[in-house]
Structure formats: C-alpha cells, structure tokens
Chains A and B, each alone.
Chain A
C-alpha cells in the first residue's frame, strides 16, 4: 500500500439555519420544563408524605381483597367494553381504509375525506370521545364502547390503509386485467396479501382498547375506572391498589395473549 490517507474532519460545517433550528429546539425544551415542572420544595414535601408511616403508600398496603369478586366482575365488563369497542372499530376501519387507499378509493375527493376523518378520529383522545358520547347516550359502558370504537377506527384505519398501499400491485393488476370487479380485487388480492399486517394491527388495537377502557370509567363511561375513581375519592387506597393490580394483570394477560397469537399466525 502507498502513503496514509488523511481522515476527514470530525465535524462538517453546517448551514446557519440548522444552528438556529437546534437552538430553538433546546430553548423549547428548557422553557417547557421550567414552566411545568413542580417546584422542588413541593416535590420534596410530597415524596415525604408519600413514604411517611401514615402516608399514601402505607395506606395502600396491604391491598384490600374483600371486594375482589365485585372488582373482577367490573373488570370483566371493562374487558367486554374493550373487545366490543375494538371489534366494532376494526369492522368500520376496513371500509374507511379502502376509501383512503390510493389505488382502491373510487375518487380522489373521497380519498381525501376518508383520510381526513381517520386523522380526526385518531387525533382526538378517547377520553374526549367518551365525554362526547356520555352526552349522546348517557353514562355507562355504551358511551365507552362508542368512544373506543371511534378511537380504533382512527388507529386501525391508518394502519390498514398503509398496509394496502404497500401491498404488491402485481396480483391486483393481474385481476384487473382479467376484468375483476373492485370488490373482487380487494377481497381476492389485497386482503390475503395484507392479512399478517391486518392481524397485527387488530391485536394492537385490542391491547390499546383494553388499556383505554380501564381509564374511560374516570369520566363515567363504564368499566373499572369508575371504581378506581371512587376508591381514590373515598381515600380507600388499599382498595385502589387492588383495582390497579387487577387491571395490570388483565392488561399483561391480553398483551401476552396477543403476542402469542401474533407469533402463531404471522
């Protein structure tokens, strides 16, 4: 080999706008923390209260198991809300996703409207949807199911549409050349190709739905969240801990179950 080659400079000169951008981001982070973080003395007092002998943590332990059976029934209702909301959301997400997909949408305007609705459903938090549906159908699990359904249309609609956009177009073109109808192409070529992705998205939607359904009760939309709120309001922290632990078991069980199904099916 001939002589050594000089290593390049460690840092390259960047354009001025890049430096400005970096400074703006750093300033945003610092001001955000400064304006919202708790004062240190408050944090210190709060932590001391939390761990004191008569404090919050001490009152939580041991968890109160006297009402486990009632909590279990409410947990079942929460799971049913999650399953119903996810199932309805997935069913409605599918046509929305078709309308939002470039090659499958009947018209560009329809595609834009479908994409806009999916983005809107996804952007508004499910707690806000829950409050909206409580006004429409009243307190209880029905409002929760509807909130979860809308949230899942936004979530699954986006991922279903992305999967359909990415599907190999060859088989679709082959069926189009045969003279197949739009529905024929969708169900014969697109759906089989997207099935692994659809399955993964559906299972993630169920997991998301289970986590969401536990919180919806906080605003009165049914499920275990109502009991958690009441337990906190009445300072029954030992019962609240029982509810939190049982919710944790449910969420972990659903996640493990969906991981197992994903591994088997995909």
Chain B
C-alpha cells in the first residue's frame, strides 16, 4: 500500500485524503462481559489496516459493529461521511452497499452458480428478480459479474455450482461478489483462516492487489503474522477489548507482535 499517513491526513499520490473511518470510544457489552472497552482509531482512504488480536479479543465484534450487524453499546463510528449509529434502517442499507465485506467462511449461497452468487453483489444498488438469478439479470450486469469473476481468476467456473469449488476458489467468488458491490471500503474478517497456507496467501495477495488497484481502504482481521506484515500499511492490536498497539507496519517488530497471535510463529525466537 502506498498512501503516506501525515498528521491526520493521508497523501495518496499528490491528493490529500481525509479519514474514511473514525471510531471513538466504542463499547460493546453483552450484559455480562464487555467485549470492546472504548476502542478508538482512524483509517485513511487507500490504506490497508490490519487488526490483530488473540481469540476473544473482540476483532470480529469490532468489524460487525462498524456496519451495525451488531449494535454497539456506546461510542461513535463515522464511516464514509456517515454517523453510522444514527442511520435509519433504509439509510443503513444504502450505507452498507458501499462497504464490501469478505467473511472468514465465504458465506456464499450453496446449490447455485458462482455467477449468481457474484451477481448478488449488485443487490447493493438494484433490487428485484434481475438481481437474484444470473439467468434473469440484464446483459450489462451479467457482463460486470463476469468481469469480477475474471479479476479474481475464476471466470471459467461461472456456471459451476459454488459448493463444488475448492475453498480457495469459493473465497475468490466471495471477493468477486464484494467487487460487484463497487465498494469504497472493504472489511475482511480472517479471509485466509479456513484455507490451506498457499490458498490463504493467494487470497490475501489478491485482496491486497485489488484494493490497491481500485484505491480501496482495506480493514482486515488477520490471524497470520506473515500476512499482517506483508499485506498491511498499519497494524492495530486488540487485547481484552482495548487497543494495545497502533503502529505503522514498516516500523513494527514481529517479535513484539507475537503476543497478539494465539500460535507462535515458525522459526521465531
């Protein structure tokens, strides 16, 4: 990622770009345990931000709070110019359409084709049967879905049932669905977690390259240190619901990052 973070703004090329995400004092509690205890951070346009932390540290909860799949207990989230907590149901739907999400488990619809699954991404801006099944879609929409599949390298699987594809291919289809949304910011919840090491790395590289090409902000939860170091510009570490680390990746010490991962790094001292 090539954006340079300078005192509250970011220089993407020569254009100063403001924050696309500002989280202030975010708290999430489920009655008993408090999962997030006053989390605050900022993300700038075109930057890749890795969120790391051990199991149960609140990473996934944080991600879900950002688009109100879970309602925060308190705190403020400003994303893409919206006060997310104040959005009505209708406005929340419109807002979500601009945020792409890639899940740990790809969450594709089984039994239907890869193309139909990618086409579902258009539901962010189009409704009705033409956005439900590939055979009912208008030609330009089908063409765009095919282009998205081509970008992730599985265009030849377009009409195959998605549950007949390998895990890596399914995650690529999920990324194509995200591209079909034409998002401005991408949230990725451990997209490499359920894949073998090679497929996981391929998927992370693909996601990183696509974000760079399209100038997207990428917020990715990662559980692999090597991916965090290779595919992010900045790292924030969550521990017991707090931000315990906020560092530029170039300045991060892998040894000090170890405590945010559950498993030790191979070959590390």
Contact = CB atoms under 8 A, between A and B. Distances in A.
B103 A170 contact: yes
A23 interface: no
Interface string B115-139: 0100011011001010110000000
A179 interface: yes
Contact of B181 (A171, A178, A188): A178
A177 B127 contact: no
Interface in A36-80: none
Interface string B63-107: 000010100000000000000000000001111110101010101
From A170, A171, A174, name the one whose CB has the most chain B CB atoms within 10 angstroms: A174
Contacts, number: 73
B97 A178 contact: yes
Contacts of A179: 92-97, 123-124
Contacts of B112: 192
Q: Counting chain B CB atoms within 10 Å of each CB, which of A175, A179, A181, A188 scores highest?
A: A179
Interface residues of B, number: 30
Interface string A177-189: 1111101100111
Given A181-B123, A181-B127, A188-B120, A174 B101 contact: yes
B16 interface: no
Most chain A Cβ neighbours within 10 Å, of B95, B109, B129: B109
B109 A178 contact: no
Contacts of A168: 110
Nearest to A176: B69
Given A178-B124, A184-B131, A192 B96 contact: no
B111 interface: yes
A192 B127 contact: no
Interface residues of A, number: 20
B51 interface: no
A174 B109 CA distance: 9
B107 A173 contact: yes
Contact of A178 (B101, B108, B110, B129): B101
Nearest to A178: B124
A193 interface: yes
A195 interface: yes
B44 to A, nearest CB: 23
Nearest to A177: B101
Contacts of B129: 187
A264 to B, nearest CB: 15
Contacts of B120: 175, 178, 180, 184, 188-189
Contacts of A183: 127
Contact of A188 (B69, B96, B105, B109): B109
Nearest to B122: A178
Contacts of A176: 69, 96
Contacts of B94: 179
A175 B67 contact: no
A171 B94 CA distance: 19
Contact of A192 (B101, B111, B174): B111
A126 to B, nearest CB: 33
Contacts of A174: 101, 103, 107-108, 174, 177
Nearest to B102: A174
A193 B96 contact: no
Nearest to A195: B111
B109 A189 contact: yes
Contacts of A180: 120, 123-124, 127
B127 A170 contact: no
Contacts of B101: 174, 177-178
B67 to A, nearest CB: 6
Interface string A108-121: 00000000000000
Given A181-B123, A187-B129, A195-B111, 17 more contacts: A170-B105, A170-B107, A174-B103, A175-B123, A176-B96, A178-B124, A179-B92, A179-B94, A179-B95, A179-B97, A179-B124, A184-B127, A184-B131, A188-B123, A188-B132, A192-B109, A192-B110
18 contacts: A170-B107, A171-B110, A173-B69, A174-B103, A177-B69, A177-B96, A177-B101, A178-B96, A178-B97, A178-B177, A179-B96, A180-B127, A187-B129, A188-B109, A188-B116, A188-B131, A192-B112, A193-B110
Which 10 pairs from chain A and chain B are nearest by CB?
Answer: A179-B97, A174-B107, A179-B96, A180-B123, A170-B107, A179-B93, A171-B109, A184-B123, A187-B132, A179-B124
